[in-house]
Structure 1
Amino acid sequence: MEIENNFAAVHEVGTRELLKDAVALYKTPNPAARQDSVEKIWDALERLKTYYTTLDKKHSSKKIVNDMANENDDFADLFNNEFKVLTDIGNKYRIRHHETDRIDITDVRYYDYFFSRCLSLIALAIQYLR
């Protein structure tokens, strides 16, 4: 089953559209689209954190992580850390921000790694959304 089949579970339209756009860009044969696909998947990650609109970003993220962890503190720590690391990557490298002090991604093969890592966390998280 392709990951896109799980996107229907994402009821928040903006997040769902970012995910669809990211995967579509990633699948295009144009290597230049890799950078755009990574930017879109990171935007989807950031938007996912605010999925529960009745909660602020911090509490929405916490709810997502707690649901994923099934009340297991070890997994809660793992998922919290992964969300934080991915946020830090998005801010430190030239993925979402393009200021001159960001680290350039000089090897296009890194985009595959970044895309897959971010999509993996999102794919798991959306299975727990309510």
Structure 2
Amino acid sequence: MEMENSFKLVHEQGIKDLLNDAVALYKTPNPAARQDSVEKIWDAFERLKTYYTMLDKKRSSEKIVNYMAKGDDNFVELFNLEFRALTDIGNKFRIRHHETNKVDIADIRYCDYLFNRCLSLINLAIQYLD
């Protein structure tokens, strides 16, 4: 499924808006917009983790992972590791937080990698949301 078409599957408008904003920034020829696109895609990821509003963030993420894995423990482990890795990246690097102790993303090619890694997981996850 084409990435931007999968955004239509998201019923939560806030996630949909963040995804559309992130992709628009990413496609902007201005290199400075790459960092902003990474911030937006991480905001979408964090919001996705709270998709099931009747659950807390951890339980909502678990529900998403379980839907994605379709009962296969190997994929539960894989997706849990990826959710955790992306959360840790967002907290360590200057993506979501801008304190002086955060690691700057000095190379635009790193922005490309991080954006696409996060977007790939989001794109897969939203195909399994109910």
In structure 1, stretches of 5+ residues that fail to align are none
In structure 2, stretches of 5+ residues that fail to align are none
Paired with 1:10 and 1:69, the residues of 2 have a C-alpha distance of 18
Paired with 2:14 and 2:126, the residues of 1 have a C-alpha distance of 14
Identity %: 74
Q: Normalising by structure 2, report the TM-score.
A: 0.98
Summarize deviations over 1:67-112 as a string: whole Å, max 9, x none: 0000111100000000000000000000110000001111111000
Paired with 1:58 and 1:21, the residues of 2 have a C-alpha distance of 25
Residue 63 (structure 1) aligns with: 63
Counterpart of 1:102 in 2: which secondary structure?
coil
Deviation at 1:117, TM superposition (A): 0.2
Paired with 1:92 and 1:101, the residues of 2 have a C-alpha distance of 8
Deviation at 1:2, TM superposition (A): 3.3
Residue 43 (structure 2) aligns with: 43
Residue 117 (structure 2) aligns with: 117
Paired with 1:34 and 1:69, the residues of 2 have a C-alpha distance of 31
Residue 21 (structure 1) aligns with: 21
Q: Normalising by structure 1, report the TM-score.
A: 0.98
Residue 97 (structure 1) aligns with: 97
Cα RMSD between the aligned structures? 0.7
Residue-pair matches, total: 130
Residue 2 (structure 1) aligns with: 2
Counterpart of 1:100 in 2: which secondary structure?
coil
What is the identity, as a one-letter code, of the residue corresponding to 2:18? Answer: L
Deviation at 1:54, TM superposition (A): 1.0
**Which consecutive aligned stretches of 4+ in structure 1 deviate over 2 angstroms post-superposition?**
none
Counterpart of 1:35 in 2: which secondary structure?
helix
Paired with 2:34 and 2:2, the residues of 1 have a C-alpha distance of 19
Paired with 2:75 and 2:2, the residues of 1 have a C-alpha distance of 25
